[in-house]
């Protein structure tokens, strides 16, 4: 599970998939990334959940899942019910430095 959006999160998802992860899910606030990365995500069968906000991590001794809410494109908090998705690894990539190349 990659929490974040943008190019850095997409690149991380590609790296985890290339490293042999059976499934990778990207969950993020928005879908702002370059078109090539969107194509790569689809080609590599990386799941994407957006726009969404992560509510909490699930698990006691280790991560077992992530609770999230889908949201509208507005900046208003969502009142949708939480959805829980299983995860045994969570990598957070939020507010990284933008790629200015």
pLDDT in tens, the chain (101 residues): 999 877 888 899 999 999 999 999 999 887 677 778 888 888 888 998 988 889 999 999 999 999 999 877 666 666 778 999 999 999 998 766 555 55
The answer to whether residue 71 is domain-embedded is yes
Q: For residues 62 and 28, what is the distance between their CA atoms, to the nearest angstrom?
A: 22
Domain count across the chain: 1
Structure tokens at 24: 């990778």
How many CB atoms are located within 10 Å of the residue 5 CB? Answer: 22
* 99 inside domain: no
**pLDDT value of residue 78:** 66
Q: Residue 87's domain spans which residues?
A: 2-93
Q: What is the pLDDT of residue 23?
A: 93
| Domain assignment present for 49 | yes
pTM for the model: 0.80
Q: Is residue 101 part of a domain?
A: no
Q: Please report the sign of the dihedral spanned by the C-alpha atoms of residue 89, residue 34, residue 68, residue 45.
A: negative
Q: How far apart are CA 69 and CA 54, in angstroms?
A: 7
The CATH number given to whatever domain includes residue 59 is: 3.50.50.60
């Amino acid at each position: 599970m990659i929490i974040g959006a943008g190019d850095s999160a997409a690149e991380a998802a590609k790296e985890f998939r290339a490293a042999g992860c059976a499934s990778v899910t990207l969950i993020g606030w928005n879908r702002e990334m370059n078109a090539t990365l969107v194509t790569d995500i689809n080609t590599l069968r990386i799941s994407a959940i957006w726009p969404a906000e992560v509510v909490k991590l699930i698990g006691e001794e280790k991560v077992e899942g992530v609770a999230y809410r889908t949201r509208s494109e507005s900046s208003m908090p969502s009142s949708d019910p939480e959805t829980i998705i299983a995860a045994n690894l969570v990598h957070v990539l939020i507010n990284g430095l933008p790629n200015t190349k």
